[in-house]
Chain A
Amino acid sequence: MKRLASCALLVASTVMFAACGKDEATDPDVGVHVTVDNAALSAAPGDTIVVVIAIANAAGFRAASFAVGFDADLLAFLSVQNDTEFMGSDGISFSERAPTGVSVGVGRIGGTAADAPGEGTLARLQFRCTSEGVAEIVLDDFRIIDIAGALCLGSDALTAIRAGVVIGDLAD
């Protein structure tokens, strides 16, 4: 008897950065939040899943890059899409295959700080489930850049966020 696995395996789905354009030392409680909205997913082999990455407290946001790690035996990366509500019409996203996964970049071209909302969907990662199993998606190596080009948090202070995907009937 098959049993569809429910959402599971969310190890850590939130990371907080220093707020863009703000002094972390003087205002430690204010920082950019990056989360995975749907950190627990289930799907059948052949299905397409979308991992939605949200960002908050990111006024003055301009661009972000991060690495996406996943089990290539279970998942195939399809694309990254930026969100027009958050990025506006000037948003752009880009992905590059890397040895251990995919490098992703999203950002807005031009514009002013006032144009950039501080909260919304940063990106949508689209995967195709290829085999049954429990797949982990690790988002790491974040670089969040504000409109001045400043790195909101040093690259040496990254914390990975993860999402889990149960693919197929794992009851057995």
Chain B
Amino acid sequence: MTRHLASLAIVLILSFVMADPGSAQQNTVDNPDLVQCYYWTNGCTPTASAMVFSYWDHYASGVGKFIHWGKLIDWYHSHDGTNNIPNLLDDLTAELGTGADGGTPMPNIRSGLLSTIESVNAYEGSVGQFHGFDDCWDALVSEIDASRPCVYSLFPETSSIGHSTAAWGYRRTMFAKFVVLYDTWDWNPVLPYPANYREDWSLRLYYGGTEPVPAREPWLHTVQLARTDTQDDDILLDQPYGGEVIPAGRPYTIQWYQWGDRIDNVTILMSRNNGLTWTQVASNVESIGAGWHSYDWDVPCVDDADVRIRVQAFDRFFVNIYVAGDGSFDECRIRRVDPVTPSGTHVDRTTVAPGGSCTLSWGASSNALSYELSENGTWRNVGTVREVTKSFASEGRYAYRVRAVGACANSAANTEVTVTVQIPLTEPTGFQASNLHPQCGEPVTLSWQPVHGAVKYELATNGEWRDIGTANNIVLRHDSDGDYAYRVRAIGRYATGPATAPIAVAVRTFCDVWPGDLDNDGAVATSDILSLATFWGRTGGSRSQGGMEWRACRTAAWVPIPATYADADGSGRVDIGDFLAVCVHWNRTHDASGGGDKATESDADPEVLAALYAQVGDAVAGPRYEIRRFLEKQLDIAPPARYALHANRPNPFNPSTCIEYDVPVQTQVRVRIFDVTGRLVREIAGRDHAPGTYKIVWNGDDEQGRSVPAGVYFCRVDAADFSGTRKMTLVK
């Protein structure tokens, strides 16, 4: 039976080897980079045999995958039993040849296998023959470094649970070592193996280097090697597992699981060149007892890099003795992600009074761990908030910028905002000039009330600002005629206050007066009456030239200057003669585009206006009517509400009497005088009337202009549907 099974095994082996006739020799590897080697020791020799076959299987298949390894294992298990092993080994050694290919001499292998089988229980191992982990590993590595594939079979001493591990490896490049470990027994179900893990055996692959991994199982990060003289002590690197992205500059937890109780501490290594060299991340990291352990690694601030992490375990009884393998069999990537600059800082107010506050805020920055706020160049961390309220006790100017704090670097600072803390400055009050109409060289004192918080003042002359110092007044002198608009404002330590309204100072020696244009607006019109009424009775210098010809008459300036123009006739007094100038040049215009002094005072004397109105109150058309309407507006005279004919005055009369009547709407009005016989004596009005109150004087004459005799007469007013009559008595 045994022989039969062995033959079957050979048949199977040959069958898959021969399945690819173009592949390597059965006992050699034709790949020049792969030099086989076999290293045997005590252990599960069937496993080692399977290793060899799987190795061949792999490279014989030529597809880079362990296509048939499972078959081998299964085949092995199907022949489970001590009695079958020697036959198997015999078959294997027969197939492996004599070592002429440069690998481990087959006789040695064979003898070793046979001696093992013959002398010890293959499942229990032998302390005396066991080389221990270090030897195993060293032997394995040495074989690999010698460019020889190898098989390593390890079986822990006196293990009652039965465990065997085998390995083979090869070296392809200078730094790439591939080691495949076969764990034929599941001896610790605690491990977080995937669901498809077969409990009765496992295959674990340890690989390194940049070569493509032919077959990778998710649990292959485990290195399980055991000391020769102890219980199993294994260590599993669980995190990083490989493929992770680890943020640079931030803490990262390296986590491993360990079995047994002899591991005391670990050393964590990192390689940035794919395992060629290793640098120490941490050493003497306490790792006592079975279970999960971790180390919080402050990931360095390196640029993006592919790294590998290795955890090496050390026995507490053999300090610095390498007792366990390393993990992290796939690269993980340290990625440095710096924060972006926060969006511009916003401040809810840029000017604050002492004792006040403002709120600064800014936009979120991705990858920011916190934020730093700079106040006038001094940075301080404000945590993760993005809004800060600042209070200010005293005046000052504060510049703020914000930057994001990253794991490795801070972002650039954002745009600066400035907050000015300033005592609120008010517009200077009481701003006045001692003389608004100075002659050339005559001093003008501008003064104002001091402004709280001001450190100095500025004066604007026709819009041009200049520093005038700390005094709240200034004396000005003007060298030539001109119009000067002055404004003043307070200057604080950090801000400028609002300006006053302008004060106009007109420096004049002469004015060009157009007779009749009393307000010097360029036209003789109703508005000139206001100027007349405003300056009525004012006196000033007269001009020598007489007349009111329509031309510019140079006149010595009055105070105030607008009054100069009101003296149209140059008499030296604003009076009736000036009104005549209005009459003379009514509606005339001149070019006033050059500016000049417009009448600015409108404090028209209502008595003067009323006196003028008395002269035009009966006007129904023409310029007089224009003046009448203008004066009615000025005097706030509303049109009458209804028709009326008032009693004439005087009555009795001689030689004339005034007839007054009201017209509420625009209409045709007839005013006629009749004698006691009903005969029409005279029609004194008979045309269209605008709304208003009218006064007409009847001089006691008839249509021919002849004086009528004394007696009783009747005044009759007819307008629309109104008719009124008044009795009048002419006495002589």
A interface list, Cβ under 8 A from B: 47-48, 50, 62-65, 81, 89-96, 103-105, 107-110, 126, 143, 145, 147-151, 154-155
Cross-chain contact A92 with B616 (CB below 8 angstroms):
yes
Chain A, interface SS category: strand
Q: Are A110 and B577 in contact (CB under 8 A)?
A: no
Assess whether B546 is interfacial by the CB under 8 Å rule.
yes
- Is A96 a contact partner of B622 (Cβ separation < 8 A)? no
**Residues of the A chain whose Cβ atoms lie less than 8 Å from the Cβ of B665:** none
Which 4 pairs, one residue from A and one from B, show the smallest C-beta to C-beta distance?
A: A149-B548, A105-B576, A63-B580, A151-B547
Question: Do residues B549 and A50 form an inter-chain contact, with CB atoms below 8 A?
Answer: no
Nearest residue, chain A, Cβ from B587: A110
Q: How far is the CA of A95 from the CA of B611 in the complex (A)?
A: 9
B40, chain A: closest CB distance, angstroms? 139
The reply to whether A92 and B583 form a contact with Cβ atoms under 8 Å apart is yes
Known contacts A145-B548, A149-B515; decide if A108 and B583 are in contact (CB<8 Å).
Answer: yes
Q: Are B548 and A109 in contact (CB under 8 A)?
A: no
Asked if B576 contacts A109 (CB within 8 A), the reply is no
Contact yes or no, A109 B582, CB < 8 A: yes
Given A50-B656, A65-B576, A149-B548 in contact, is the A92-B624 Cβ separation under 8 Å?
yes
State the CA gap A143–B615 with chains docked (Å).
20
Point out the residues of chain B lying under 8 angstroms from A95, CB to CB: 576
- A143-B569, A149-B581 are known; give 14 further A-B pairs, CB within 8 A: A48-B654, A63-B580, A90-B624, A92-B615, A94-B579, A95-B576, A96-B575, A104-B576, A105-B576, A109-B583, A109-B623, A110-B623, A151-B547, A154-B546
- Expressed in whole angstroms, the Cα–Cα distance for A94 and B612 within the complex equals 7
- Report how far A165 CA is from B220 CA in the complex, Å: 146
Whether A105 pairs with B579 at a CB distance below 8 angstroms is yes
- Contacts A/B (CB < 8 Å), 13 sampled: A48-B650, A81-B697, A90-B624, A94-B576, A103-B577, A105-B576, A108-B583, A109-B624, A110-B623, A149-B584, A150-B547, A150-B548, A154-B546
Q: Residues 622-652 of chain B: 1 if any A CB is under 8 Å from the residue's CB, otherwise 0?
A: 1110010000000000000000000000100
CA distance A154 to B576 in the complex (A): 18
A96 touches B576 (CB 8 A): yes
- Chain B count of residues within 8 A CB distance of the other chain: 36
Question: Is B619 an interface residue, CB under 8 A from the partner?
Answer: yes
Given contacts A90-B623, A109-B622, A109-B627, contact A150 B580 (CB under 8 A): no
Docked complex Cα distance between A143 and B649 (Å): 32
The distance from the CB of B466 to the nearest CB of chain A, in whole angstroms, is: 46
Contact A103 B575 (CB under 8 A): yes
User: Out of A63, A110, A145, which one reaches B622, CB within 8 Å?
Assistant: A110
Indicate if the CB atoms of A149 and B575 lie closer than 8 Å: no
The verdict on A90 contacting B622 (CB below 8 Å), with A103-B576, A143-B569 known, is yes
Contact flag A89-B615 (CB < 8 Å), given A81-B697, A107-B580, A150-B549: no
Chain A residues with CB below 8 A from B585, complex form: 149
B550 part of interface (Cβ distance < 8 Å) = yes
The distance in angstroms between the C-alpha atoms of A96 and B580, with both chains bound, is 13
Taking CB atoms, residues of chain A closer than 8 Å to B547 are: 145, 149-151
| With A48-B654, A143-B569, A148-B549 as contacts: A89 and B619 at CB distance below 8 Å | yes
Residues from chain A with a CB closer than 8 A to the CB of B619 are 89
* A63 x B584 contact (CB < 8 A): yes
Within 8 A of A (CB), among B579-617: 579-587, 611-612, 615-616
B105: Cβ under 8 A from any A Cβ? no
Provide the bound-state CA to CA distance between A64 and B584, in Å.
10
Residues from chain A with Cβ under 8 Å of B546 in the complex: 143, 151, 154-155
B546 nearest CB neighbor, chain A only? A151
Contact A93 B621 (CB under 8 A): no
- The answer to whether A110 touches B575 (Cβ under 8 A) is no
Which B residue's beta carbon lies closest to that of A65? B577
- Is B560 part of the binding interface, using a Cβ–Cβ cutoff of 8 Å? no
CB of A109 within 8 A of CB of B586, answer: yes
What chain A residues lie within 8 Å of B624 (beta carbons)? 89-92, 109
Report the nearest A residue to B551, measured CB to CB: A149
Q: Report B-chain residues with C-beta under 8 Å of the C-beta of A92.
A: 583, 615-616, 624, 627
Rounded to whole angstroms, the CA-CA distance of A78 and B732 in the bound complex is 19
